[in-house]
Amino acid sequence: MNEFVRPDLDVVTARLRRAADELAAIGGELSYGVLHRRGPGDAQAVSPSPHRPYRIASMTKSFTAAIMGSLENSGLNYDYPMYFMVPDLKGTAVGELTARECLTMGTGFAKDDPWADRMESMSTFDFLTFLQRPLIPIAEPGTGFEYCNLGYALLGLAAESVTGRTFPEMVTTEVTAPLQMTRTGFDVADFPDLVPGLRIDRYGGAHPLAPTRPGAFSPIGGMVSTVADICNWMNVHMDSLDSEASTAPGAWSHVLADNQQPRRPISVETSRHHTEEVHYGYGLMHRADSRFGTVLCHSGGYPGYGSHMRWFPDLDFGIVVLGNTTYYPAERIVRDAVDAGWLTATGRAEEIPDLGTDEPLVSATPVLARESVPAATHPLPSGPRTGRTVLGAVAATLNWDDAFADAHFAVNMDLDEPRAERRERTAEWVRENGVDMTRPVTVDDLTMEHRLLGSVAIAEGVTVTVRLDHLGDVQAITLSD
């Protein structure tokens, strides 16, 4: 008997149902599932819409890691450099990276979500051409955690190179078909009933987004799936931790169990109720939670979608949430539901801030302290070129400059938010914050967190943060609240 307390799953389900109602109120759609297990191989999922297909975004990484585990079983060495598997990468900025560094987010390259999320359909030829360019790392590889999609695109490229097969074909024939995940795949053309992805503008208007097709970046987040299939995926993972009862065919039990181990430390998070040690495994986040024991999870964020899956092997249950708005905060929704269920189960339901009210969902156990492992123990020095780009982006944002945007915006920028909307939103922010537009932005106002991430102090407590992509172009501009 362990000391962990299983949350009240009726409360969990009620919170998820309420989140679905809130999303529906702005024109979105949310599907959720709660997986109940009475033991290995014995599971039942409860969901009101189990077969609605959504893009699952970066939850795809768990499937990519599974394929790599299969190749490792066949003799692939995770510690060989990438150019051993893809000869065209020799001499490039990524050629010496290893599969293990890519799997555990230790590539030394920076966070790249906005840019990478628009790259799915890139051809293999174009990807190889891109990789010949002078990409900018932020740290020595293997020295720290930095979430980076580029590494998972490289894994897909390597898998295709060593097998001669397409990545979607490998996942279908080796993973989803044997596990009878019949509503999971890569090509949106196979899912005519795909829940449409939506972009919500600053006024709450919903804009349908055209889905992308499979390509070189599909391994980072290109899959489509359903609540029912993801519940199956979570159940097989939990079964794999008990090899005698595993329902995974062949060597999959070993692969999936291995992928669930903590590999690269990220942080220690503390609230008034708990402490979590957070690691990245292979395609999964591993959280050692003082309330629940081991927790495995992964989120997904994509243009038009947001998702999260989380399972609790020590308590035999799991949760999945799939939403259809850009970067829908599915992880927060799941964590709030679990927190409320746990407080109820431990006799402290009165501590849930909004139970029984009409207020938006509020986290019951907010993180009060986060001790992060450094993103890199060997950061590379920032050069003047990227600092100038950050300063230029801030100046061009405050006093809108289309010429700068044409020259320095990455391809995702105008797709993520049309320029007219971006200009209008920025102008309103300037008015609300009383920004002095006559004051010049200088290097003295600039703080570079690393080579590709900088912020500029506009006034006391007022900042503009600029994130650059791997080539030093602007992929995101964030205005402080």
Mean pLDDT of the chain: 92
The pLDDT confidence band at residue 354, using thresholds 50, 70 and 90, is low
Element (H, E) at 84: helix 82-85
* pLDDT above 70 (res 131): yes
Closest CA to 161 of 87, 62, 215: 87
Interval 159-168 mean pLDDT: 97
Cα separation of the two ends of the chain = 46
Query: What structural domains does the chain harbor?
Result: 1-380 (3.40.710.10), 384-479 (no CATH)
The pLDDT confidence band at residue 480, using thresholds 50, 70 and 90, is very high
Residue 12's pLDDT is what? 96
Interval 333-338 mean pLDDT: 96
Residue 374's pLDDT is what? 57
**In terms of DSSP bridges, do strands 285-289 and 293-302 run parallel, antiparallel, or are they unpaired?**
antiparallel
Class of residue 69 by CB neighbours under 10 A (exposed 0-12, middle 13-18, buried 19+): buried
Residue 140's pLDDT is what? 94
Residue 364's pLDDT is what? 62
Place of tokens 């900025």: 93
Which pair of tokens denotes residue 134?
A: 């002078």
How is residue 275 annotated by DSSP?
Answer: E
The pLDDT confidence band at residue 42, using thresholds 50, 70 and 90, is low
Distance, in Å, from the CA atom of 154 to the CA atom of 97, rounded to the nearest integer, reads 9
Closest CA to 49 of 72, 30, 68: 30
Distance, in Å, from the CA atom of 6 to the CA atom of 295, rounded to the nearest integer, reads 12
CB 360 within 8 A of CB 388: no
C-alpha dihedral (224, 227, 228, 232), degrees to nearest 10: 80
* pLDDT above 90 (res 426): yes
Distance, in Å, from the CA atom of 417 to the CA atom of 430, rounded to the nearest integer, reads 18
The interaxial angle of helices 384-398 and 419-433, nearest 10 deg, is 80
Distance, in Å, from the CA atom of 177 to the CA atom of 228, rounded to the nearest integer, reads 14
Distance, in Å, from the CA atom of 209 to the CA atom of 417, rounded to the nearest integer, reads 12
- Residues 174-210 have pLDDT tens digits of 999 999 999 999 999 999 999 999 999 999 999 999 9
CB 248 within 8 A of CB 236: yes
Strand partners, 465: 455, 478
Interval 254-282 mean pLDDT: 95
The pLDDT confidence band at residue 1, using thresholds 50, 70 and 90, is very low
**Residue 342 three-state SS:** helix
Region at 132 (left for phi over 0; alpha for psi -120 to 50; beta for the rest)? alpha
How is residue 244 annotated by DSSP?
Answer: G
CB 284 within 8 A of CB 297: yes
Strand partners, 473: none
Cα three-residue angle 348-351-353, rounded to 5 degrees: 145
Percent of the chain surpassing pLDDT 70: 93
